[in-house]
A and B are shown apart, each in its own frame.
Chain A
Amino acid sequence: MTELKTELKKLVIDALDLEDVTVDDIDSSEPLFIDGLGLDSIDALELGLALQKTYGIKLAADSEETRKHFASIDSLAELVASHKAA
């Protein structure tokens, strides 16, 4: 799981052009959007695309479910892990 979280942090940094942010700067439990890392709605769409390209995960653009998955690196890791297991 730690490995997957590091992988997801790298994905977030690369897909969203987070210059000056390193893997160590991102706390797995902190919010990705608005507070915490400070991502915005365009980032949400971009991240959705990156998940689709990398893991084949398709998410509805504006569902309560997606919001939960996008809350933090921890929740994203759970999503990807369960998708891999399925």
Chain B
Amino acid sequence: MESFQITISDWAAFSPCRMQREEWQAWADGNEGSAAEAGYKPDLPWVNAMLRRRLSPMGRAALWAAGQLLDEGRAEPIATIFASRHGEVGRTVKLLRDLAVQAPLSPASFSLSVHNAIGGIHSIANKVFSPISAISAGPDTVCAALLEAYTQLAVRPGDEDEILCVFYDDPLPEPLERFDLEQHDVQALAVRVSLAKSVEGIPVAFSLEERQDLQEQAPVKKLACADQFLRFLLQEDTPTLELSADRRTWRWRKLARTSA
């Protein structure tokens, strides 16, 4: 089966409970001393206050994670892919509630409820002129975005090129919460993706196949894909990860580091 190879050269993740690398490492290793408290707020000094006020807490988390991977010393990513299964679903639900009672819709809320709104603010705040896309692919969202990163890199000659992927999702709000089958410890995760094997980082390969076992399964709540992917990256002794979506199974495995 064909497999695709990428290297995750850097990552950053945010939730109100965890934002430091060591905190996420402890989370991945199941080593958290005490229950994490929700006290963090993402600080975005590089986003103009008039733009920043438009961002939801989730949008701020996404831009914070992205911002951690955009130091001045590093080459700019050739593209940025924002990926979220449900996007700004909190705003959408509020708009739908207003529509239901025929109340006028908030223009600001409407403009920010679209799927590429966070990417748009990112591009204005960071003066990004490279391509930005916004992906939603149901339970395949995280893997589809990484496949998108792979394909964009694969058609380019430059071996040093990197793509920034930003994943973000919040738990579904009322009245949709009973349909939510994902537990979100990660509010936003950003990764830098490269095809170069020489680059420092975590080299991984993935393949996808159609699922054969498509009989109805009882829905089970499980850790969201971004969370599972981050755990896979951080757990030294976890060589593989299987992410099953509705119709496909994505199989991930870590590759030997060339530098080791």
Pairwise interchain contact B104-A53, C-beta atoms closer than 8 A? yes
B111 contact set on A, CB distance < 8 A = 42
Q: How far is the CA of A53 from the CA of B106 in the complex (A)?
A: 11
Pairwise interchain contact B108-A43, C-beta atoms closer than 8 A? yes
| Residue of A with least CB distance to B48 | A38
| Residue of B with least CB distance to A50 | B106
Pairwise interchain contact B108-A42, C-beta atoms closer than 8 A? yes
Number of interface residues of A (CB under 8 A): 15
A62 contact set on B, CB distance < 8 A = none
B256 adjacent to chain A (CB < 8 Å): no
Interface of B is mostly: helix
Pairwise interchain contact A46-B49, C-beta atoms closer than 8 A? no
CB distance from A11 to the nearest CB of B (A): 14
Q: How far is the CA of A52 from the CA of B107 in the complex (A)?
A: 13
Number of interface residues of B (CB under 8 A): 10
Pairwise interchain contact A18-B53, C-beta atoms closer than 8 A? yes
CB distance from B91 to the nearest CB of A (A): 12
A49 adjacent to chain B (CB < 8 Å): yes
CB distance from B111 to the nearest CB of A (A): 6
| Residue of A with least CB distance to B54 | A17
A19 adjacent to chain B (CB < 8 Å): yes
B50 contact set on A, CB distance < 8 A = 38-40
Pairwise interchain contact B104-A49, C-beta atoms closer than 8 A? yes
Pairwise interchain contact B104-A19, C-beta atoms closer than 8 A? no
Pairwise interchain contact A19-B53, C-beta atoms closer than 8 A? yes
Most A CB atoms within 10 A — which of B52, B53, B54, B108?
B108
List CB contacts (< 8 Å) of B18-40 with chain A.
none
- Contact indicator per residue, chain B 104-122, by CB within 8 Å of chain A (1) or not (0): 1011100100000000000
B54 contact set on A, CB distance < 8 A = 17
- Contact indicator per residue, chain A 17-38, by CB within 8 Å of chain B (1) or not (0): 1111000000000000000001
Pairwise interchain contact A19-B49, C-beta atoms closer than 8 A? yes
Q: Which of A17, A20, A42 sits near B107, CB closer than 8 Å?
A: A42
Q: How far is the CA of A46 from the CA of B105 in the complex (A)?
A: 9
A59 adjacent to chain B (CB < 8 Å): no
List CB contacts (< 8 Å) of B78-115 with chain A.
104, 106-108, 111
CB distance from A43 to the nearest CB of B (A): 7
Q: How far is the CA of A19 from the CA of B49 in the complex (A)?
A: 8
Pairwise interchain contact A46-B108, C-beta atoms closer than 8 A? yes
Q: How far is the CA of A18 from the CA of B104 in the complex (A)?
A: 21
A81 adjacent to chain B (CB < 8 Å): no
Contacts A39-B50, A42-B111, A43-B108 supplied; 12 other A-B pairs, CB < 8 Å:
A16-B53, A17-B53, A17-B108, A19-B49, A19-B52, A45-B107, A45-B108, A46-B107, A49-B104, A49-B106, A49-B107, A52-B104
